Structure 1
Amino acid sequence: MSGDARRSVGAAPDAADAPNDRRDTVFEVRGLDVAFEMSRGRSRVVRDADIDIYREETLGIVGESGSGKSMLASSLLNAVVEPGVTTGDVTYYPPDGGDPVSVLDLSESELNRFRWEEVAMVFQGAMSSFNPVTKVRTHFRETLQDHERNIPAGMDRARDLLESLYLDPDRVLDSYPHELSGGMKQRALIALSLILEPEVLVMDEPTAALDLLMQRSIVSLLRELQAEYDLTLVFITHDLPLLTKLADRITVMYAFNMIETGSTDEILYNASHPYTRALLAATPDLNVAVDEMHAIEGSKPDPVESIRGCSYHPRCPLADDDCRSEEPSMFTVESGHEVACYHYEQAAEAIPLRGDANSGRGGGTDE
């Protein structure tokens, strides 16, 4: 493949094929790195990430534990905790043509406003996000007060949000967090994150601690909220079947790198990276016999190790000398579908998917 066939992940496709243009871009990420200095060396947990996130879309970011997806999510809000160091460019484009915002250059006071009023984040553990000795109502009121918002109007919005999430506002607002079930706490946290009407909602494994029925319910509610409030969603998860119910596009991460990005259907039916195909083949499915599911052999690299070439080559059946010597750039497979693999054209034959289960839609999260 010639070098002119390569370009960075997330770069806009040709104008004739582009589903979005710059006016529709809400986040532009270029050359993003997140690193931690450790006693045994420097650990890079996000490596040279490039992607655009489009307004009112749902972008799913999927990968196994420790792939860097949570660090990528935190970087969108410049919220990587010390001693982590974030470098590169994260540009936020406000609605209605406002001036672009360089997120990594914001002051602490500017970040405090940005993180609630423009972009909000929902973390995995709802209980740890609430003060256990403070009623839920107080969390809403204090958030409104800290951002100098009209409290009566804001509390009316809180009630509307809670009702949209099929919660009884009086019961939830007058409860302490421990008095609510896991699903109720998670929905209350989603309502709290939306109280200041942010443009973007970043969700880091928001359903990980919930049972399958509640996961399905949360995903269904998120679709409704997105339509009602014109939200852009960034949904981080290791659960690929769950993601297929919500995402418009999917980015796959492996070993701190973004390795494939495309529409949900393109990723599910026409995955081109060997890791993505192996991940699909390993996904549990209630409709498939256990002996038809195949674990991915080997283990992911240590974040401190410096791997030459493609980070997946030690586990990849297609790896050759090129893969071991030079990291691949992104190749364009179809409009908007990009993959970092020298041998993407051979991946389908080398790593077949499971018949009609290849979509990941046959698992326990189907509606």
Structure 2
Amino acid sequence: MATDGPYAPPAGMLDTVAGYESIATGGGGEGGYLPPPVYPMPNAEGGQPQPDQQWSIPSITEDTAKQALIKFASDHYTYRNRPAEEMVIKELKPYNMYRYRLDTFTESRSPECKSEPFHSQTVDNCGFGPPPLPWDVVVDTPTMFEKNKKTIKVPHTGSVKGCHKCMAMGKAPCSTCSQTGRVKCRNCHGNGTQPDSEDRCDQCLGSGIQSCESCSGCGRQTCTECEGQGQLFCYIQLTIKWENNKFEHIVEQQCELPTKVLKKVKGQNLFTDQQFQVFPLVGFPEPRINQVSQQGIQEHWAQFGKKSRIIQQRHTVELIPVTEVHFQWKEKDHTYFVFGTENKVKAPDYPGKICTIL
């Protein structure tokens, strides 16, 4: 029976290879990532200065605020449009919310000893040259900031070993009959008689046992590890993972709109930078953005810089427009918010709700 693919042989089966000593004794494996080359962590002293400019978005017009509320009411079947159409806007109060985002695209490498049945395939061993170190194996980088995974055989790490499971014989003890070649009769369950009568079982002729079908009665079956070859092709497999790690923070002003509703709306892009390593922002008009930028970059380097290689970083600052709208309908005051460049609406006390009884 064929195996499902390469598997990990016993610890110590693979010859010790320079740079991969841990897996020769059973270490390594996916999740046992090797530390990458050391890179200096960015700091605020090397920060990126920003233009001395006051970023602000003017309040939306009354008509825009009204149309946004009408659409909001139309999208809710239990809301009436009438309050939105008849309301009188008293005040538009703009707020500017900043959103800082940091994407850190990382690569991690995890070596593992693998083996597969040897079918006379070419063995790329150390005779063809010294095996490259884990971080020296050349691999094409996939699309930036997109999750990906690849497994490759490390060049010049191949070797042929006798199968440990069958002692290089190609046959292993049959687990069905425990090497006896005989099993309990399936027809009579070892009773020797027909299940529905006292007549002799015609399958085992009354003996209650029959030849094992798994091994054809010989007590041994083709080894599933080596597929009967008696030998295994061993090598080091390198699992490479690319991950896009995100850091996001919204710098808010004092208003009653929950910041969680801003996570899925679009803003106006104020700043974007992408390179091997980005530096904390310096001199941004909103000081808290400078602090958040430094915090996010430090967190990512502390979290990912030791176990993976940072390939590329990208950070952005968006300005998310928020307008607090005060209006009156039937001589009562109400408030709602219009936010994001899509003019989304949050109106928890909308006066046109229709009561429904379930």
Verify same fold: TM over 0.5. no
Place the TM-score, normalised by the shorter chain, in its bin. under 0.3
Whose RCO is larger (CA < 8 A, sep 6+)?
2
Q: Normalising by structure 1, what TM-score?
A: 0.20
Could you say which structure has the higher strand fraction?
Answer: 2
Could you say which structure has the higher helix fraction?
Answer: 1
